[in-house]
């Protein structure tokens, strides 16, 4: 897994106004903690942060973060985005021991074309977008790929059905469904039985002439 370098500035003032000022200056407020470090409030350059997590590992990339002259291996533990502008608003950096396992979320990627299901009018339904895994930081897979090309209608892919790389495990129940196949639900109009009137409709008047006695 590639490692990237990033420099963090310490001593940033806390609070919404100072944080907004940093964002306008192209910096992202952040905090560093874990493995006997911090928590330390810092800020990083937004452009360089984007570069650091733009590789195949994404947010699970191991970053060499320089803080006051000390370099720490970190991963992004939490990333918050602005709900309106969608830019990065805050980052939590977790200091890791490269020889100890950590728990992270890895994207689940579906490969192949499920032609047999499509021919039946069915759909492939991805239940889990990410998979929780435990691994040492440098051994975290970029993604978990599942081939759906041989799936038939009614098939499921469970946690027990996938093979993870050596040294990577998942705490999820083996019976947890990752991918399933379904038929779209078809809505049918209720049938009106003979003699049953339509709601709100008045019964027809009797137009027959009665005989006079």
CATH of residue 66's domain is 2.40.240.10
Closest by Cα among 109, 106, 102, 126 to 182: 126
Q: 14: pLDDT confidence band, cut at 50, 70 and 90?
A: confident
In a domain, 83, yes or no: yes
Residue 189 phi, psi (nearest 5): -75, 135
Residue 108: domain span: 103-182
- At 84, is the pLDDT very low, low, confident or very high (cuts 50, 70, 90)? confident
pTM given for the model: 0.76
Residues 101-115: pLDDT tens digits? 999 999 999 999 999
Which residues on neighbouring strands pair with residue 43, listed in sequence order?
9, 29
8 neighbors 32 (Cβ within 8 angstroms): yes
Average pLDDT, whole number, for the chain?
87
Q: Are residues 127 and 151 in the same domain?
A: yes
Residues 108, 33, single domain; the answer is no
**Contact in structure between 41 and 10 (CB atoms under 8 Å):** yes
Q: What is the pLDDT of residues 88-102, one digit of tens each?
A: 999 999 999 999 999
User: Does residue 42 contact residue 30 with C-beta atoms inside 8 Å?
Assistant: yes
Give the per-residue pLDDT at 202.
54
């Amino acid at each position: 897994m590639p490692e990237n370098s990033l420099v963090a500035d310490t001593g940033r003032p806390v609070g919404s106004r100072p944080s907004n000022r940093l964002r306008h200056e192209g910096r992202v407020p952040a905090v560093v903690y874990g493995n006997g470090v911090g928590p330390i409030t810092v800020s990083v350059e937004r452009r360089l942060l984007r570069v650091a997590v733009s590789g195949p590992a994404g947010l699970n990339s191991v970053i060499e973060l320089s803080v006051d002259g000390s370099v720490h291996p970190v991963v992004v533990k939490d990333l918050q985005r602005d709900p309106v502008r969608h830019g990065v608003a805050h980052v939590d950096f977790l200091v890791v021991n490269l020889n100890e396992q950590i728990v992270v979320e890895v994207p689940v990627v579906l490969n192949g074309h499920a032609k047999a299901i499509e021919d039946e009018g069915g759909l492939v339904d991805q239940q889990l977008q990410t998979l929780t895994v435990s691994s040492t930081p440098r051994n975290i897979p970029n993604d978990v790929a599942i081939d759906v090309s041989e799936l038939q209608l009614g098939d499921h892919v469970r946690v027990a059905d996938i093979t993870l790389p050596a040294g990577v495990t998942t705490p999820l129940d083996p019976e947890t469904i990752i991918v399933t196949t379904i038929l779209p639900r078809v809505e049918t109009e209720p049938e009106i039985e003979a003699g049953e009137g339509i709601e709100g409709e008045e019964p027809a008047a009797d137009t027959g002439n009665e005989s006079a006695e």
